[in-house]
């Protein structure tokens, strides 16, 4: 009998053993050489913690608020696709786990459970993630359904004018299930196959059963012409706050504030889009500095330990989002696995705060961490 995991990293191996290779590779993989995928985690290792001592840490408060909604800890569930590939209960199990910990789940538009199924599964605050489609009626329909079902914010992913090259999926001839959120008006099927060393994606509409390759798929669905002016259109069709996910530079952070977004998620799409993009923890501070506290800045990418959460908070994030760890927990042990992953990170964060002299999140400051650049500078 295998020993129970004692940290989040150990869930990845359990997920590998539980999943077909095709699905494990899909969840784990990044773009091209996967340099950014490695760097997302390795960059945390180059940041050290500067603990303070002789501070009363007999009580530790992890609670915070995001867009005015109180959560038990600054750890949210990132939008990740197709949870039923990991477990039969899919996103419903993930949603229940997030609700049990009183935190926010961001449901992916590529969910294998519908917006409505997840909304009715448990009472909790949750956000909904979308892409901007060339057919704006698709985007509008999804946004309006989410709003009717009580989702509290829209998270627009902005780093995907085209899909990144994920070579493991090409080799495995990845086949994904239908996307439940489109069944009412569309029949969507994705078939990734290796043909002339390219990815082809088959997009099948209910009344127009003709497949298309990647170029046509991107042209017909994701809007490659998406620009800053389109944020205004999205804001015009909903009363919900709009956050954008995929910002990694101070220039784009400033533009985001100018067009009136309600929040920013610093993210490189889990290293699945542009390889050799920077690790998100390495650019978090420049985005925070550009925003100047005008909107919340959330962080996504590479979180595996409570110390990682602490470092992101010290560099200015209001909360972090976890993607792969939640999916690994789901694959290994279903809803219980996701709950355990969140609990492990919360417990590690609490211990880190106690050992660093921070009884509450507000006590975590920039002075509590030192980056590699600062260490080099101090040695000169």
Domains recognised in the chain with CATH numbers:
9-171+225-379 (3.20.20.70)
d(CA 58, CA 333): 33
d(CA 263, CA 280): 16
Predicted pLDDT at 3: 77
269 is catalytic: yes
Alpha helix (H) ranges present in the chain? 9-18, 21-28, 35-45, 90-100, 115-121, 136-148, 167-172, 214-220, 230-236, 250-259, 280-291, 306-314, 324-356, 372-379
Predicted pLDDT at 207: 31
Other Cβ atoms closer than 10 A to 210: 9
Given a cut of 90, whether residue 218 has pLDDT beyond it is no
Write out the binding residues for glyoxylate: 26, 131, 166, 269, 272
Contact 116, 151 (CB under 8 A): no
Predicted pLDDT at 375: 59
Given a cut of 60, whether residue 215 has pLDDT beyond it is no
* Long-range contacts, stretch 280-285, CB < 8 angstroms, 24+ apart: 280/40, 280/248, 281/40, 281/43, 281/44, 281/47, 281/308, 281/311, 281/312, 281/315, 282/39, 282/43, 283/248, 283/249, 284/312, 284/315, 284/316, 284/317, 285/315, 285/316
Write out the binding residues: 26, 79-81, 108, 129, 131, 157, 166, 245, 267, 269, 272, 300-304, 323-324
Predicted pLDDT at 379: 52
Write out the binding residues for FMN: 79-81, 108, 129, 157, 245, 267, 300-304, 323-324
Given a cut of 60, whether residue 210 has pLDDT beyond it is no
Given a cut of 70, whether residue 234 has pLDDT beyond it is yes
DSSP assignment, residue 88?
T
**What is the tens place of the pLDDT at every residue in 319-345?**
999 999 999 999 999 999 999 999 999
Contact 145, 182 (CB under 8 A): no
**Which of 70-84, 118-132, 170-184, 259-273 shows the lowest mean pLDDT across its residues?**
170-184
Question: Which of 87, 101, 269, 368 is an active site residue?
Answer: 269
**What is the tens place of the pLDDT at every residue in 51-64?**
999 999 999 999 99
d(CA 200, CA 269): 21
* pTM greater than the 0.75 cutoff: yes
d(CA 116, CA 22): 28
* 168: exposed, middle or buried (Cβ count in 10 Å: 0-12, 13-18, 19+): middle
Other Cβ atoms closer than 10 A to 67: 18
Closest CA to 269 of 104, 374, 184, 156: 156
DSSP assignment, residue 370?
E
Instruction: Give residue 263's pLDDT band: very low, low, confident or very high (50, 70, 90).
Output: very high
d(CA 96, CA 100): 6
How far, CA to CA in Å, does 88 sit from each of 17, 20, 82, 84? 16, 14, 10, 5
């Amino acid at each position: 009998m295998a020993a129970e995991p004692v940290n989040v990293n150990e869930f990845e191996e359990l997920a590998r053993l539980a999943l077909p290779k095709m699905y494990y590779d899909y969840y784990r993989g990044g773009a091209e050489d996967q340099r950014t995928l490695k760097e997302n985690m390795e960059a945390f290792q180059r940041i050290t913690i500067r603990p303070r001592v002789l501070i009363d840490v007999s009580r530790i408060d992890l609670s915070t608020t995001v867009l005015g909604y109180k959560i038990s800890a600054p750890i949210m569930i990132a939008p990740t696709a197709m949870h039923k590939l990991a477990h039969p209960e899919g996103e419903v199990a993930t949603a229940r786990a997030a609700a049990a910990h009183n935190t926010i789940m961001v449901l992916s538009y590529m969910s294998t459970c519908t917006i409505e199924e997840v909304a009715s599964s448990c009472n909790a605050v949750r956000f909904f993630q979308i892409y901007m489609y060339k057919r704006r009626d698709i985007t509008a329909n999804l946004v309006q359904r989410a709003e009717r079902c009580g989702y509290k914010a829209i998270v627009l992913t902005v780093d995907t004018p085209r899909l990144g090259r994920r070579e493991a999926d090409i080799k495995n001839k990845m086949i994904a299930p239908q996307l439940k959120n489109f069944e009412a008006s569309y029949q969507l099927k994705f078939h990734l196959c290796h043909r002339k060393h390219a990815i082809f994606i088959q997009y099948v509409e209910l009344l127009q059963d003709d497949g298309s390759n990647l170029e046509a798929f991107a042209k017909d669905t994701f809007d490659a012409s998406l620009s800053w002016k389109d944020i205004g259109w999205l804001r015009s069709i909903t009363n919900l706050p709009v956050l954008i996910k995929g910002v990694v530079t101070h220039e784009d952070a400033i533009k985001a504030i100018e067009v009136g977004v309600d929040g920013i998620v610093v993210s490189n799409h889990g290293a699945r889009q542009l390889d050799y993009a920077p690790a998100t923890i390495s650019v978090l501070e420049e985005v925070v500095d550009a925003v100047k506290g005008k909107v919340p800045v959330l962080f996504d990418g590479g979180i595996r330990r409570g110390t990682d959460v602490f470092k992101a908070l010290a560099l200015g994030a209001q909360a972090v989002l976890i993607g792969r760890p939640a999916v690994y927990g789901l694959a290994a042990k279903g809803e219980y696995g996701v709950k355990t992953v969140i609990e492990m990170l919360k417990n590690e964060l609490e211990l880190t705060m106690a050992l660093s002299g921070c009884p509450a999140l507000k006590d975590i400051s920039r002075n509590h961490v030192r980056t590699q650049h600062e260490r080099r500078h101090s040695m000169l």
